[in-house]
Structure formats: structure tokens, C-alpha cells
């Protein structure tokens, strides 16, 4: 009888911990703001995101700087996508005051026309492709 009660209580504990497990979404939609300036940046950012294991879809807008991603949360997370984008030299903007800056080495690997931190390059692109800063 004691063994039966013990086994029954173990089963109840197992079911209760299993029901508390957070289910991860197979198709989570995430939007990340990424700095860039042109079509070459677009290709580099999207390729970096897509090479992240678990990412199913990635598209970056030159105008809005939004990287829209569909990912499998069971295989990856937003941090992994951000790290992939940072590794190819593009900054991730968290909000108006905070951003994660790519290393100088990664930013240095970006093509000359893609130097989005350089005001002269932005001017060369007529400022139309770069989101303008609020003054």
C-alpha cells in the first residue's frame, strides 16, 4: 500500500512539473531594429539572420531599419539573431538611447559604401536610405 501511494504521488509531481513547462513557439515573429544604409547592407543582414539555426524567414527594410524574423524558439532566440547580425558589422538598436554596437573589427569588414556610422557616406546616399535622426 505504501509503495502504491509513493508511486501515485510521484506521478502527480511529474504531471504538475510537466504542466508548468513553458511551451516555445515554432513560429515566433520578432522585429529587431538594425542599423544599415543600402541594399548591400540588406543582403548582409538578412543572410546573417538566416544563417542562424532556427531562423525560418528574415527581411530587413532599408527605410525603417526593421529586421522582421520568424524563428523557432525551440532552436534559437533573439539574442542569437542579434549576435549573428553584430558579427557581420551591423549595430542592433534597442531603443532611442541604447544600442548594441558591433565590434570595430566586424564594422571594418563592411564594404566602404556601407559605413553607416560615417555622415559623409550617409550624405553620398542622399540621406534617403538612412533613417534620419530626430533633432
CATH numbers and ranges of domains, the chain: 28-124 (3.30.70.100)
Helices (H) and strands (E) in the chain, counts: 5, 5
| 45-75: pLDDT as tens digits | 999 999 999 999 999 999 999 999 999 999 9
| Pairing, β 92-93 against β 99-100 | antiparallel
Output the pLDDT for position 40.
94
Output the pLDDT for position 68.
97
Output the pLDDT for position 125.
76
Output the pLDDT for position 133.
47
- Phi, psi torsion values for 118, nearest 5 degrees: -95, 115
| 61-113: pLDDT as tens digits | 999 999 999 999 999 999 999 999 999 999 999 988 899 999 999 999 999 88
Output the pLDDT for position 26.
86
**9: pLDDT confidence band, cut at 50, 70 and 90?**
low
Q: What angle do CA 71, 106, 65 make, to 5 degrees?
A: 50
* pLDDT above 60 for 42: yes
CA quadruple 123, 60, 86, 105: dihedral sign:
negative
Amino acid at each position: 500500500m505504501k509503495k502504491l501511494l509513493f508511486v501515485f504521488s510521484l506521478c502527480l509531481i511529474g504531471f504538475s512539473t510537466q504542466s508548468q513547462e513553458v511551451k516555445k513557439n515554432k513560429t515566433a515573429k520578432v522585429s529587431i531594429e538594425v542599423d544599415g544604409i543600402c541594399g548591400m547592407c540588406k543582403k548582409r543582414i538578412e543572410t546573417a539572420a538566416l544563417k542562424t539555426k532556427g531562423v525560418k524567414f528574415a527581411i530587413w527594410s532599408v527605410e525603417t531599419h526593421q529586421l522582421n524574423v520568424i524563428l523557432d524558439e525551440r532552436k534559437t532566440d533573439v539574442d542569437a539573431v542579434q549576435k549573428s547580425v553584430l558579427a557581420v558589422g551591423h549595430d542592433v538598436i534597442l531603443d532611442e538611447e541604447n544600442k548594441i554596437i558591433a565590434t570595430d573589427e566586424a564594422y571594418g569588414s563592411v564594404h566602404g559604401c556601407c559605413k553607416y556610422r560615417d555622415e559623409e557616406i550617409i550624405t553620398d546616399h542622399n540621406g534617403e536610405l538612412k533613417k534620419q535622426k530626430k533633432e
